Amino acid sequence: MFKTTLTEAQSRIGDFLTDQMARLGDDRIAEGMRYATGGGKRLRGFLALQSAALFDVPVERALYAAGAVECLHAYSLVHDDLPCMDDDDLRRGQPTVHVKWDEATAVLVGDALQTFAFELLSRAEAGTAEMRVQLVNALARASGAEGMVLGQAQDIAAETAGRPLTLEEITALQANKTGRLIEWPALAGAILGEADPAPLRSYARAIGLAFQIADDILDVEGDAETAGKALRKDAEAGKATFVSLLGLEGARTRAHDLVAEADAALQPYGEKAQALRDLAHYIVTRDK
């Protein structure tokens, strides 16, 4: 049931992005943008759609937020995969953008995807002017030098720190690097629904951290082919992870506690939040 809902949302977001990007033509940058957003789990976009659905926001409107967060996430992956960053050749089972084309193309494709995210949010169809400008402001704060980019820089700094991070440090780093961009689509639902964002923020913070812990578990236990990317990189690099700090069982327990927290935060929404509850469970049980 949840898998069907997720699959439907994934293809709806995919169709939306295809439509929106049609105007960009078929030069290399547009092609790279389509390639970089062409696969993946689209969990952030799904989260935007489901959070908006709690408040009966029309899906045609929520798709702008969903598409925007997927473009923003894709930009961060394209740049993170660059040789000067994580130097990854494989993403979602396909060659990364700089491998398929070249580094300059990857820089520009990432740049243009970030721009496109903000463009989508600014479209008249995405909400009232007040909603759109709130979405832009929240996304900028979540993804910039106080959010995602700060987390990426903290991650790089950790590699040369000469000592592994503490649990507190890695929690703060991950809250920036991945947490903020998981929080944003949940908040987007509340902005579009003109609703109190507090319960969704608590939910999103819990699943954001659970997501990262699950990623660290996958990095140790997962299958690279299923995951579609290189694994075991953290352990090989001697980096602190939730698994190295909490142990495999400790990490699993913490992830499941966070899912319970996320469940509890959704209490005000009753039945309507079932897909969000299912998403929290999916996040810690996925194999990619």
Residues making contact with a copy of itself (CB under 8 A): 23-24, 27-30, 33, 75, 79, 82, 84-85, 102-105, 107-108, 110-112, 114-116, 118-119, 121-123, 128-130, 132-134, 136-137, 139-141, 143-146, 149-150, 152-153, 156-157
Query: What minimum distance in Å lies between the beta carbon of 56 and a copy of itself?
Result: 22
- Please, which residue, 110 or 197, has the CB nearer to a copy of itself? 110
DSSP secondary structure letters along the chain: -HHHHHHHHHHHHHHHHHHHHHTTTTSHHHHHHHHHTSSS--HHHHHHHHHHHTTT--HHHHHHHHHHHHHHHHHHHHHHTSTTTT--SEETTEE-HHHHS-HHHHHHHHHHHHHHHHHHHHSGGGS-HHHHHHHHHHHHHHHSTTTHHHHHHHHHHHHTSSSPPPHHHHHHHHIIIIIHHHHHHHHHHHHHTT---HHHHHHHHHHHHHHHHHHHHHHHH--HHHHTS--SHHHHTT---HHHHHHHHHHHHHHHHHHHHHHHHTGGGGGGGHHHHHHHHHHHH---
Query: What minimum distance in Å lies between the beta carbon of 62 and a copy of itself?
Result: 17
The Cα 226–Cα 287 span in angstroms is 7
- Token readout for 260 is 């319970």
Query: What minimum distance in Å lies between the beta carbon of 191 and a copy of itself?
Result: 12
- Please, which residue, 106 or 218, has the CB nearer to a copy of itself? 106
- Please, which residue, 111 or 261, has the CB nearer to a copy of itself? 111
- Please, which residue, 83 or 250, has the CB nearer to a copy of itself? 83
- Please, which residue, 43 or 121, has the CB nearer to a copy of itself? 121
Query: What minimum distance in Å lies between the beta carbon of 30 and a copy of itself?
Result: 6
Query: What minimum distance in Å lies between the beta carbon of 107 and a copy of itself?
Result: 6
- Please, which residue, 87 or 225, has the CB nearer to a copy of itself? 87
Query: What minimum distance in Å lies between the beta carbon of 22 and a copy of itself?
Result: 12
- Please, which residue, 86 or 261, has the CB nearer to a copy of itself? 86
- Looking up tokens 């473009």 gives 71
